[in-house]
Each structure stands twice: as structure tokens, then as C-alpha cells.
Amino acid sequence: MYLTLKNISKNYGTLEVLKKVSLELQENKTISILGKSGCGKSTFLKIIAGLETAASGEIILNNTNISNIKPSVRNIVYLFQEALLFPHLNVFENIAFGLRIRNVKKNIVAEKVKTLLQQLALEREALKMPDQLSGGQKQRVAFGRALIINPPLLLLDEPFSSLDVETRATMQQLYKSIAEMYNITALFVTHDLKESLIMGNQIAYMENGSLTVYNNKKEFINDMKTGVEGEIKFWNSL
Amino acid sequence: MTSRFKNIIPFSMLVILAIIPLVLGIGYAVSYSFGLTGVLNNGFTLAHWQTALSNKDVLMSFGYSILLSFVSIVLCVGAAAFLAFYIGDKLQSGRLSYFLYLPMAFPALVAAFFFFQFLSNGGFLSRFFFQLGFIKTIDDFPNLVNDKYSIGILAAQFFLTLPVFVLLNLSIIKNENIAALKTLGASLGAKRSQILFRVTLPVMLKKSFPTVVLFFIFKLGTYEIPLLLGRSSPEVISVITVRKMQRYNLLDIPQGYVIAVLYAMLVFVLLTLSLKPSKINMNV
Amino acid sequence: MFKGRTITAYLLIAGFVLPILLLVMLTFSANWVYPNFLPERFTLSNWNEFLFKNARLKQSFLNSLIIATAVSLFATAAGFITSRWIAYHKRRNFLLILSYFPYAISPVIFAVCLKFYFLKAGIAGNLAGVVLAQLIITFPYGIIFFTSFWNRKVKNYVEVASTLGSNDVITLKKIIFPIAKQFLTTCFFQCFIISWFEYGLTTVIGYGKVETLTINIFQFIKESNTYYASLSSCLLVVPPVLLLWFNKKFIFQQTR
């Protein structure tokens, strides 16, 4: 298995945020994790990225135990709800950041950034500053900034939740095509039922720090607690 | 760099530059006030506390400082609220907004010096009235500095602090969206006076309260202005403390430390009871 | 209505500008006898004296400059680093109240309580002692100033940078410093002004041996030397006024 998480636990004082969470994910697949706010999904992602430490458990990526490796060496990119573009850098430099700090040659940086700008439909925005961009554009730049370093694993923490419905749909499609193009392996966290179904090859549900991973979509739909049944009933009753 | 090492530097700076001086300073004052250190130390005694607390000048000094700070703050807060609502738009932007910051370019000492030149018997105001024929001699002009009612002190403090509160109010009006709240109040049927007393002022007061308390504490410790513009009795806390400690009468020194300890306690209580540090507006 | 508002605004501004005008006038004055509104004659001799003859005033100016520069550089740097630690600390509020205390307390009273130790350490009455004493009040100011900088967003920027492969040094250089630049300069100037204006603490720890501009002013006032007092007042007020011209925030410090 490409990514294996074994019995990850975390508590803040007496509050148990994650209770022995385990998960397996194949290469080039995206798993969506559905959960209400405060269920522990962000903490879960931060632990995988190395931004928080787990009380116990193991993270094995590509046959290497990375549980105790610094975030900057893990190469796993965490995408926040907010795009968090560096405010002092323009679009081009934001995307180039990961390569610049690795001292990659200038012409290679330029080439790679240009390709990404093209694929993300951001060519005309290259010299703009973050505050001149729309919400969707910002998220695309954040994607580009992550993709440029070829991360072995991408963690997406509700990246589209602050966008309007239309932009959101476009971004979901864009993500899917990019994910395929770049062979991305990712965990996609969301509180939106529909989005979880669209984005994941695999689906899981998190509640009160416990994670249920479903074998297929049918199982997910049939589980009462995911709320799919209720949703179907609502639309049928119209 | 390990995270432990990263924490040691800020921790030790806080200890060396803030905590140790605090502990040493207060500790010295406390032990001096109980006769445990100092030139005349004869072991533990409550005598200095008894003398200081039965000294009319000391008690008056605390009362006077508290009253003076209170009046000073009330004047500033009131005038600032009025100005912010009445001419706030004019002060918020444009060239006038720069002038609003001018008093902040004045150290307390220079403000005190100016108000002395302005308000004293031989000062500008007196000359002005003389030229207009309102007064005949220099003595006709009322005492406005080193005076009974502390007018000079209040004027100088008003000059220094008014802009801070005007700016604070302007930022509250903007951030709390007072205009929208007023419209909302009106749409719910509130009269103008009701909007003022039930919406606008409560919101403003609640938001500015921590800063108001902080400035009250600042005024309690004010030194230069009362030193130049105050009278020899009553004196504010800082002035009486420093004077007691610089006395040739060695018995006065422990009393000075008693005052310092009492004052530090007062500041500490005010700070802990009424301040949530995150709420103080440092960047208006 | 409109007129009343305009008049109020200009009256207020006049009240704020008047002190500077009168102080400047006094520096050019000679024989300002009662009840004349203006001095008998205007002269350059006071300025002439300061610029070309009075070594003492020049030395005080230089002292003030050295002390304020040293104090604000150190207070800004130390405040920046320490406030980061405090901002993300579990006991943040307690540590902040602790920082507020030395800043809120009257500097002159704090100074008389600490004087003993400065004497023992042999640094009362020299520049180093005054710098250290002023740091004790400006360093907490720096901490308090920067706590609003270290918010969740900055923390997230740092986290993003680290997941992108940036180490601490690079993050500091490429992310934190550029974002904090405005904050750092503002804090520097505000601390500079606090130090530049400081009188009470400086007299106590300076022990009459370190002369700064504020101490000069006080002496001139005591000697009833109005012209020199206003001249040194002007020297003291001019730098902040210049700063104001560059950026209003630079001189916004919460003074007493």
C-alpha cells in the first residue's frame, strides 16, 4: 500500500480529538473524508503533514515510516481552506516558491511555472499580487504552488469551501483533471456531502475523532450517519 | 535548530529583561518598606507602614492622583467621543488627519513646558488678554498653573491624550460598523436619543474600556506634567515617591518605598481585574 | 451645521499646531517682556549658540540619539522574538499581563526601585545603564506591539512554507521578514520615540551624569532659560514631526 496510517491518536488535555484512526490509500488515488466541523479532520491532516504530533500511531508513506520526520523534509503539501498565498510575492513567485528555496536553476523554474500557469489558466495573472485575484484564482495558485514540487502526497483541507457554487464546481473539475495529469495521491477533507462523492475514488466518514472507511460508494450511501439517505429522500419528496 | 533551543532565547529574554527586574524592583521596595534593607535597617518592622499610612500627605497623594486621573480620562473620553461623531469624517482622512497626530510628537515634558508658557501669569494667554484690555496687571490673570484646581495639569494631559482617544473612537466606529447599527436601531423604531444611549455609547464604551483603563493606569503614574505644573501639596504619587527618596531625612526613604509598593499593588490589581490584553488596541 | 463642523475641526487643529508655532517663535526670540505679545526682536543667536558653540546641548542631542537608537533596535528585535513565543504559548494571557506590568507602571517609580541594583552593578550614571533601564520599559512594549502580528494567519503561512520544504532560516528570511517589515519599522520608531521622550527614569538611572535632551530641557526650565528650553524642546519635537510626515503610525505610541 502507498500510504498507511496506523492507529493515530491525539488528545488536547483530556479531550480525545483522534481515536486510533487507521487508513490505507493506493497510489494516484484520492480519498475524500467527510465530516462536520470540529470532528478532528483538520488535526488529522496536520498530523500527516507533520505540523502537529500524534500521541501515538504510525504514518508509512511509500514503505518509509515518516512519523518523526520534520514537515519540511516530508514533502507532503497541506492546502488550507484559505489559499494563504504569500502576500508579498506575485503569482509567479508564489508558485515558484518551492523551487526557489531548493535553489533550482532560474530557467528551469521559469519553464515549470509557465507550464503550470498554462494548465491552471493563470497565464494572464502571472504578475498580479494575491490581493488582485478572485477566490478561485487564489486557490488555483495555491494548487500550482503545491504541485510544482511534485509532492508524494497532497492534503486538501476544505480548499473550496469559501468559494461560490459555480466556481466551486469548476474547481472540482479542474482538480480532477490535474490530479489525473500529475498522478496525484491525496486526502480531500470536506463537510459537503456532494463534494465528497465527486472528489474521492474512495470515501471515509469522520465523527468525533473516529474514522469509518467505506469499501465502495454503495456502502457509504447505505450508512445512515453519512446523511446520504436523508438527502435522497428530500430530493425524491419534491 | 531544535524547538527547545528556539524557546530558550525568548524565554530567557523575558526572564532577564522583564521578570527579574520586576521581582528585584518590587522585592527591594517591599524589603526596604519593612526595614529589611537600607541604610537604617534594624530588622523587620511595621513602623514605616504605620507612619506612611497615618501620614495625611501620603493618603492625600493617592486620593489626588486617582481623582486627577479620573477627571483627566473623563474629559478626554467625553471630548473624543463628541469630536469623533461630530467631525470624525473630517479627521479620518486628508490633510487634517495628519494634524490630529501632532500632539503625539510631544513628550510630556515639552507639553508641560508649553502649557506653562501658555497659561502662567506671564504667559501667552495673559499677554493676549492684556493686549485686549481685559486685564490691567499681570496679577489680574487667574492662576492656571501650579493652581488649586490642577487646571494646568489637566490641560496638558488633555492635549496629549485627546488624539489617542479620538483615533480610538474613529477606529471603533469603523470596525464595529456603528453606522449600520444606528440604522438598524432606527428601523426598529428607536428615537435618536435612544439610539445614542442604548446603541452607540454602550458599544463604544465596551470596546474602548480596556484602553481607557490602561490610560487611567498611565495617568496614575504621571510624573513630568505634575512635577512642572502641580503644587507642592497635594502631590501625585510619582512626585511624592521620588521626593521622599531623595530626602536627606533618612526616615523618609522607607516611606517612599511603602508608597511605591502600594502603587505597584494598585496597578497590578487594575491590570489583572480589568484587562484582557488581546483587547487593547495598540494600532489604531 | 456644516459651518459649525468646519470651524470645530479647524479650531482643534489650531490647538494642536499652536504649541509648535509658539515654541519655534520662542527659539528666535530675545527680550520677550511682559506684557508684549511678541518679543522685542527676533534673533538667530540662540540657534547660532546651539549649532556652533554650545557643546553641552550637542552632546545631549547625541546622547539622546545613541540611547534611542540602541534601545529601539534591541527592543524591536527582542520584542519580535519573544512575542512570537508568547503569542503561541498556552499561558499567553498570563505572560501578556506580566509584560504589561513593567510597561504600565510609572517608569520613574520603577527606576527608584531598581536604582540600588544599577549602583551595585556600576552602571548607574552611564549610557549603558540608561539603555538597559529604558529597555526594561520598551522591551515589554515591543512584546505587546507584536502580539497582534503573530496571529493565526502568520502561523499558517509558516506552516505552508514548511510543508513546501522551507526550513526555519529560509522561512524567516523569505516569509516572516517580508511580511513583518512594516510592523518592524513601526515598532522601531515607536520605541525610538518612547526612549527619545523619556525623562523620569533617565534622570534616576542616569544619576545626573548622563544628559539627554529631556534632562536639558528640565534644567533650562529650572534656570528659567525659556529660550534654551524651547530650543531643546524643538529639537525634541522635530524628529517625531518628520516621522509623522512619512507615516502617521510611526509616532503613534501610547504615552502617558
Q: Can you read off the three cell numbers belonging to residue A28? A: 494516484
| Greater pLDDT, B41 or A221 | A221
Residues in C closer than 8 angstroms to B68, CB to CB, are: none
Between the alpha carbon of residue C110 and those of residues A108, A139, B23, B257, C97, the distances in Å are: 60, 52, 11, 11, 17
Of C162, C175, C179, the CB nearest to A71: C162
Half-sphere exposure of C105 (CA within 13 A, CB side): 33
Neighbours of C48 (CB within 10 A): 11
pLDDT tens digits along A177-198: 988 988 999 999 999 999 999 9
Mean pLDDT of B206-219: 90
Cis peptide before C35 (omega within 30 of 0): yes
**Contact predicate A215/A200, CB 8 Å:** no
The set of residues, in sequence order, having a beta carbon less than 8 Å from that of B25 and lying 6+ positions away, is C110, C113, C114
The reported pLDDT for the residue numbered B276 is 65
Cα dihedral B70/B274/B219/C76 (nearest 10): -160
Cα–Cα dist C214/C60, whole Å = 9
Q: Which of B13-27, B240-254, C193-207 has the lowest mean pLDDT?
A: B240-254
Among candidates B86, B82, B70, B81, which has minimal Cα distance to B153? B70
Please, which residues bridge with residue A16 across strands? A11
For residue A226, pLDDT over 90 is answered with no
Better pLDDT: B31 or C34: B31
pLDDT (0 to 100) of residue C223: 92
- The answer to whether residue A99 neighbours chain C at the CB level (below 8 Å) is no
Record: contact C256-B103, CB cut-off 8 A: no
Instruction: Classify domain C57-254 by CATH number.
Output: 1.10.3720.10
Residues 6+ apart with CB under 8 A from C151: C87
Q: What is the pTM (predicted TM-score) of this model?
A: 0.89
Model pLDDT, residue B279: 55
For chain B, percent of residues with pLDDT exceeding 90: 55
Contact at 8 Å (CB) between A155 and A49? Answer: yes
Please give the CATH superfamily to which domain B56-279 belongs.
MetI-like (1.10.3720.10)
Interface predicted TM-score (ipTM): 0.92
Q: Which amino acid is at C235?
A: L
Q: What is the pLDDT of residues A107-164, one digit of tens each?
A: 999 999 999 999 999 999 999 999 999 999 999 999 999 999 989 999 999 999 888 9
In this complex, whether C and A touch, counting 3 or more CB pairs under 8 angstroms, is yes
Peptide bond into B234 cis (omega under 30): yes
Q: How many CB pairs under 8 A join A and C?
A: 60
Q: Do A72 and C162 touch (CB under 8 A)?
A: yes
Residue extents of the structural domains in chain C:
1-45, 57-254
Q: How many CB pairs under 8 A join B and C?
A: 252
> Given the C-alpha cell 459651518, which residue does it identify?
C3
Say if residues C48 and B123 touch (Cβ distance below 8 Å).
no
Considering chain C, what is the average pLDDT of its residues?
A: 90
Helix (H) or strand (E) holding B273: helix B252-274
| Annotated domain spans of chain B | 56-279
Give the other-Cβ count within 10 Å of A107's Cβ.
8
Give C88→chain A minimum CA distance, Å: 14
Min CA distance, C177 vs chain A (Å)?
10
Q: What is the pLDDT of residue B1?
A: 45
Least confident of A41-50, B85-94, C9-18: B85-94
Judge contact between A11 and A40, C-beta under 8 A: no
Is the pLDDT at B283 greater than 50? The verdict is no
Mean pLDDT of chain A: 92
- Write out chain C residues lying below 8 Å of A84, CB-based: 153, 156-157, 160
Please answer yes or no on whether C165 and A73 come within 8 Å at the CB atom: yes
Identify all chain C residues contacting A87, using CB atoms and an 8 Å cutoff. 179
| Greatest CA separation for chain B | 78
* Mean pLDDT, rounded, for B61-70: 96
Taking 60 as the threshold, does the pLDDT of residue B277 lie above it? no
Query: pLDDT tens for residues A61-119?
Result: 999 999 999 998 888 999 988 899 999 999 999 999 999 999 999 999 999 999 999 99
Q: Grid coordinates standing for C192?
A: 525610538
Tell me if A1 sits within 8 A of A213, measured CB to CB: no
- Chain position carrying cell 501639596: B233
Q: Is the pLDDT of residue C52 over 90?
A: no
Give, for A65, the enclosing helix (H) or strand (E).
Answer: strand A64-65
Contacts of C241 in chain B (CB under 8 A): 102, 105
pLDDT digits (tens, 9 = 90+) for B103-127: 999 999 999 999 999 999 989 999 9
Scanning B221-251, the segments in alpha helix (DSSP H) are 224-229, 237-245
- Note the pLDDT of residue B2: 53
Q: Is the model's pLDDT at B71 over the cut of 80?
A: yes
Name the residue with cell 453519512.
Answer: A226
Distance, in angstroms, between B49 CA and closest chain C CA? Answer: 17
Task: Classify burial at C11, counting beta carbons within 10 Å of its beta carbon; exposed 0-12, middle 13-18, buried 19 or more.
Answer: exposed
Cβ of A87 under 8 Å from any chain C Cβ?
A: yes
What is the rounded CA–CA span in Å between residue A148 and residue A211? 31
Q: Tell me which chain C residues have a C-beta less than 8 angstroms from the C-beta of A146.
A: 164
CB B258 within 8 A of CB B52: yes
CA distance B138 to C167: 73
B230: closest CA among B177, B151, B131?
Answer: B151
118-157 in chain A: CB under 8 A from chain C? 145-146, 149
Q: How far is C176 from chain A (nearest CA, A)?
A: 10
Q: Which residues of C119-129 are buried (b: 16+ CB within 10 A; e: fewer)?
A: eeeebbebbeb
Q: Do C136 and B13 touch (CB under 8 A)?
A: no
Q: Residue C159 is nearest to which of A51, A102, A145, comparing CB atoms?
A: A51
Tracing cell 499567553 back to the chain, one arrives at C92
